[in-house]
Structure 1
Amino acid sequence: MDAVIPSPARHTVVAGGGDLPVAGPWRIHAPDGRLATVAGAVRALLEPHLGERLLPSGADDVAADADLALTLDLDLASPAPHRTPVGVSPQGLPEPMDESYRLTVADRGITCRAATPEGVFRAATTAVQLLTASAAGLAYQELTDAPHYAWRGLMVDPARGYLTPGELRRLVDLAALYKLNVLHLHLTDNEGWRLHVPSVPRLTACGNNGTAGEFYTTDDYRDLQRYAAERFVTVVPEIDLPGHCAALREAVPGLPAAPAPEGLADRFPFVPPLDLADPATHDIVAAILADVCRLTSGPYVHIGGDEAVGMTAESFALAIRELRALVEASGKRPLAWQESSRAGVTEDTVVQFWVDVAMMDLPDTEEELSHRPELLRAGLTLGLIKAMKTFFAPADHDVARVVEGGGRVLLSPQSHLYLDRAYATDVTPPDQTATAARLGFPTYRPRGVRHAAAWDPASHAIPDARIAGIEATLFGESVEGLDDATTLLLPRLASVAETAWTGRTPAWPDHRARLARHARIWQDRGLAYLASTEVPWP
């Protein structure tokens, strides 16, 4: 049975063709010098699974039972590359990247062919899955595939749940194995500032906004980007402004608050957003973003723009326009959460859709609230819930504004793609009950793996041409290390990756059977996961 996730567009088993043993030893064969870096990345991905069954680099004179051949073949160029990738043309517009590939299993091994190094690498990640998830031999077969969406991302949140550079590299590998190609780093928030900014070193001074030493040096950041690029993953940094700025305010005290709506002052606890009309604030933010853009090798810098509680609409729109302009002045493209659409939309605008009032799934009555133990435990009252609904009511119009303005939407709906959602108790195995109980954002209704897998991009009624891509998110309020992060991500991240690559919801009976065979992949890599009772694990 094919165990590949995402499932390929076309898969043909050669009738009567025989089986290829997987025991090895295996040799990576990449004679084309243009694939030297790809071969190195593929070797690193395979080593945890094959171990001594993988011959060392340069052992061409040692007998091998099978080759993993990496081949560039320009005849396989896709005639219609997918839309809205992370690459940018000289005009600043999206430029298609061809990730299509063909993989063949035959008597001498596995051959990965594509017109580009990206495509060869995507084929090789399929080969890694085949070799790892298959207990016996591989039937002679051919797979051909290409992605539906170009932006296939994972956001993690070291601002709240710090992950070491080494742990981030392991997440890059996980993303690459499932053909995700963006790692979005939520680097700043009220709880911490995790990227050293040379022009404002106070932001990561020892003891400031978090545990001393828990931040990324400029070398850490550059090294992570190089590592990710070798796996065709683009790192997108997020500097979340003008709200979520407590860490910045602690490091740079005295910055004035943005103008607040009449009657809001002192009604609710919130950190005052920044006023980008203030010269001192503008200068600090300009220096920060100039450094972040300079340190970032990819084309995008995320400016945040969400939940700016406590500022007027006019002040918020001014702040977003200034943040966009500062990023653009440094030669990068700004990306922001959906609220940023309220500052205007052009054809170059990309916003990240995460919420509307309906998907917040909040009760309307005391009776309904009494049946939501997670909300009661979090201390939510009906009055606070009504205030939240009022604040988020404008979100119901953000997507339509982007579509009408000719912009694009990056889909990250809280309802299904926020993987910091707790697992439902009825799908949690007994030996993981305690772990599952402490993980996840406290006010989200707990769900199972099937819930994430059932999400359909078409359910939001956004024209497909207006969808930039898909990104799963993992905010870090409950994350205390890599094991926590991967327990929340797995198995659900594989399901999101399936939809991001294929553009459609996977058929659950087939998908759950595929998921079951991926437990071995995660175990080989030392990654914790939630063994949901929805999946028939071996």
Structure 2
Amino acid sequence: MNAVIPEPRTTAPATGHAPGPRTAGPWRVHAAHPGLAGVAAMVHALLEPHLGSRLLPLGAEQHQPEASALTLALVDEIPAASDTPGTIGVPPDGAARPVDESYRLTVEADGILCRAATPVGVFRAATTALQLLATSGGRLPRQELADAPRHAWRGLLLDPARGYLTPDEVRQVIDLAALYKLNVLHLHLTDNEGWRLELPGTPQLTAPAPDGTPRAFYTTDDYRLLQAYAAQRFVTVVPEIDLPGHCATLREALPGLPDAPAPAWLAGRFPYVAPLDLTDPATQEAVAAILAEVCRLTDGPFVHVGGDEAVGATEESFAHSIRELRALVRESGKRPIGWQESSRAGVDPDDILQFWVDVPMMDLPDTADEIAARPELVAAGTTLEFVQALKSFFAPTDQDLTRILDGGGRVLLSPQSHLYLDRAYAPEVVPAGRQADAARLGFPTYRPLGVEHTAAWDPMSYGIPEDRVAGVEATVFAESVESLDDVTTLLLPRLASVAAAAWTGRAPDWTGHRARLAHHGRLWEQRGLAYLPSTEIPWAAAPES
């Protein structure tokens, strides 16, 4: 077997009796079409951490004809595998229909041939070739792989608002996402803990703190370059400005904005940051200026307006705010996305809502004894009163999915139960010597679970008509993280499982997926990425050259 993730739809032995190429190299990247020069450069850069000195400089192939070739070729058409259905969902580049990402890869005696009808298809094939080279030793078996995605939107949310990553660190995550055929980077840029995007029209948002401490943020140049870097790897950046709740940093920067009208039952019960009131002219003007500038700075077609957990706003105030946020984004020529709660402001067929929670998947206890049996809840100081308040506040989420579908909208699947990768690992799967890290990382009230739990997720399990699924997106919120190593430890190995489900449209077979994952620790190590070597996986030793 090969260790490619997502598992290709078809794999067959290639014709001929000659042995396959040696992974030990040397290897060269060759673009067989002038239009693939940019793709070849990206593939070459992605290969460098894995091949090192075995990778020849671009254009050096004439000097070492004996080198194995990774050849990138455009063809008129790629015959679809017999079991390959059409791609569904919303293309993240804003196209009217999904772009053709299908490809065919052949391991030949003298190298690997990547063929597709589009540059993005060629790039997807090349990431498969990279995985073959990084996870294999000796000679590659002669074989032919054919593949195409099921979902057009395959995303990952990063949370620099709470756990800032430098631009170089974000680029490392973009590379990781691209290697597993993800094509959206959702940046959660604002929250109560931080505002991470420079907006020259509102410099107060990223000004030093009152004590003079500089704040970490992405300059407009940083943001422009990150988007360009992602686009070269066929990844679309979607920025999120989370409103009308989660707005403490905005309130600090623009003091004096009035609170949204609050429900009478909430007064004095729990502390919260009051959501914004977009019926207030000064608030509306400030938010309009912010969103116009974010839209202007964003290359892609989508801007996420948040809409989640607006604790302390009446239903009427919340609905008004969501309608206003959507209108402001559309006025700037972008398409708004919101979390599922924004369905309560109404849903149109053009709307995309991100489904993340309902009360059952929150896995909350019903009694004090059940709290006592959950160490993570005890450690967080959870009380029965607080749990009951959570259930009451989140009760409307049980109908959000129905609201989206009844209104004709599209659903972006990000269920907390499986795709929130800021979940601690179950202690029983954590290897010796890693317990401290594992205990420190993860949202404190989520039940710790293993890699197999994530891999069991089935995108079809919600009964949503396929034409109403926008796509799939994993998240890694950063309440507990302090570094890129923390982020990738939460992501890996679980991100590979989500990527497999997003690409194929189904949960991977655990036995085969586990065996393939066993070879990917080596790939992550070569890229300098920290990961959690779960005892669920029989991790393979480094392959022999």
TM-score, normalized by the shorter chain, greater than 0.5: yes
The answer to whether the 8 A contact 1:192-1:209 is kept is no
Report the equivalent of 2:312: 310
Question: Shift in Å at residue 378 of structure 1?
Answer: 0.7
Question: Shift in Å at residue 148 of structure 1?
Answer: 0.3
RMSD: 1.4
SS in structure 2 of the partner of residue 19 of structure 1: coil
What CA distance in whole angstroms lies between the structure 2 residues aligned with 1:88 and 1:508?
A: 34
SS in structure 2 of the partner of residue 236 of structure 1: strand
Confirm or deny that 1:23 pairs with 2:38.
no
What CA distance in whole angstroms lies between the structure 2 residues aligned with 1:508 and 1:498?
A: 11
Report the equivalent of 1:47: 48
Which segment drifts farther, 492-501 or 257-266? 257-266
- The 5 A counterparts of 1:255-294 are 255-294=257-296
What CA distance in whole angstroms lies between the structure 1 residues aligned with 2:277 and 2:430?
A: 46
Question: Shift in Å at residue 80 of structure 1?
Answer: 4.3
User: Aligned in 2, Cα 1:432/1:28: closer, same or farther, shift over 3 Å?
Assistant: same
Task: Output one character per residue of 1:372-421: Cα deviation in whole Å (capped at 9) or x when no partner.
Answer: 11111111111110010000000000011111111110000000100000
Report the equivalent of 1:227: 229
Question: Shift in Å at residue 445 of structure 1?
Answer: 0.2
What CA distance in whole angstroms lies between the structure 2 residues aligned with 1:115 and 1:275?
A: 50
Task: Output one character per residue of 1:421-479: Cα deviation in whole Å (capped at 9) or x when no partner.
Answer: 00010000011111111000000000011010011112222122211111000000111
The answer to whether the 8 A contact 2:94-2:300 is kept is no
The answer to whether the 8 A contact 2:29-2:44 is kept is yes
What CA distance in whole angstroms lies between the structure 1 residues aligned with 2:212 and 2:149?
A: 40
Task: Output one character per residue of 1:281-336: Cα deviation in whole Å (capped at 9) or x when no partner.
Answer: 00110011001000000010000000000010010000000000000001100001
Aligned counterpart for 2:490 among listed residues 471, 476, 488? 488
- The 5 A counterparts of 1:301-450 are 301-450=303-452
- Report the TM-score when normalising by structure 1: 0.97
The answer to whether the 8 A contact 2:240-2:305 is kept is yes
Question: Shift in Å at residue 16 of structure 1?
Answer: 6.4
What CA distance in whole angstroms lies between the structure 2 residues aligned with 1:493 and 1:321?
A: 34
The answer to whether the 8 A contact 1:193-1:209 is kept is no
What CA distance in whole angstroms lies between the structure 2 residues aligned with 1:32 and 1:343?
A: 49
What CA distance in whole angstroms lies between the structure 2 residues aligned with 1:84 and 1:133?
A: 32
Confirm or deny that 1:88 pairs with 2:94.
yes
User: Aligned in 2, Cα 1:364/1:211: closer, same or farther, shift over 3 Å?
Assistant: farther
The answer to whether the 8 A contact 1:71-1:114 is kept is yes
Report the equivalent of 2:10: 10
The answer to whether the 8 A contact 2:20-2:111 is kept is no
Residue identity opposite 1:13 in structure 2: P
Give 5+ residue unaligned stretches, structure 1. Answer: none
Which segment drifts farther, 350-359 or 21-30? 21-30
Question: Shift in Å at residue 20 of structure 1?
Answer: 2.1
What CA distance in whole angstroms lies between the structure 2 residues aligned with 1:342 and 1:358?
A: 20
Question: Shift in Å at residue 211 of structure 1?
Answer: 6.0
SS in structure 2 of the partner of residue 396 of structure 1: helix
Aligned counterpart for 1:136 among listed residues 132, 135, 138? 138
The answer to whether the 8 A contact 1:87-1:95 is kept is no
- Count of residue correspondences: 534
What CA distance in whole angstroms lies between the structure 2 residues aligned with 1:164 and 1:248?
A: 21
Which segment drifts farther, 218-227 or 53-62? 53-62
What CA distance in whole angstroms lies between the structure 2 residues aligned with 1:210 and 1:370?
A: 44
Task: Output one character per residue of 1:199-234: Cα deviation in whole Å (capped at 9) or x when no partner.
Answer: 100000012699624100000000000000000000
Residue identity opposite 1:390 in structure 2: S
Residue identity opposite 2:120 in structure 1: E
What CA distance in whole angstroms lies between the structure 2 residues aligned with 1:318 and 1:74?
A: 50
Question: Shift in Å at residue 77 of structure 1?
Answer: 7.4
Aligned counterpart for 1:462 among listed residues 461, 464, 470? 464
Residue identity opposite 2:100 in structure 1: D
Confirm or deny that 1:98 pairs with 2:104.
no
The answer to whether the 8 A contact 1:39-1:70 is kept is yes
SS in structure 1 of the partner of residue 77 of structure 2: helix
SS in structure 2 of the partner of residue 431 of structure 1: coil
What CA distance in whole angstroms lies between the structure 2 residues aligned with 1:276 and 1:339?
A: 17
The answer to whether the 8 A contact 1:209-1:250 is kept is no
The answer to whether the 8 A contact 1:98-1:115 is kept is yes
**Percent identical residues:** 66
What CA distance in whole angstroms lies between the structure 2 residues aligned with 1:71 and 1:297?
A: 28
The answer to whether the 8 A contact 1:72-1:113 is kept is yes
Question: Shift in Å at residue 112 of structure 1?
Answer: 0.6
Question: Shift in Å at residue 14 of structure 1?
Answer: 2.8
SS in structure 2 of the partner of residue 355 of structure 1: coil
User: Aligned in 2, Cα 1:208/1:394: closer, same or farther, shift over 3 Å?
Assistant: farther
Residue identity opposite 2:45 in structure 1: A
Which segment drifts farther, 73-82 or 278-287? 73-82
User: Aligned in 2, Cα 1:287/1:458: closer, same or farther, shift over 3 Å?
Assistant: same
Confirm or deny that 1:113 pairs with 2:115.
yes
User: Aligned in 2, Cα 1:479/1:208: closer, same or farther, shift over 3 Å?
Assistant: farther
Aligned counterpart for 2:509 among listed residues 507, 512, 531? 507
SS in structure 2 of the partner of residue 471 of structure 1: strand
Confirm or deny that 1:195 pairs with 2:201.
no
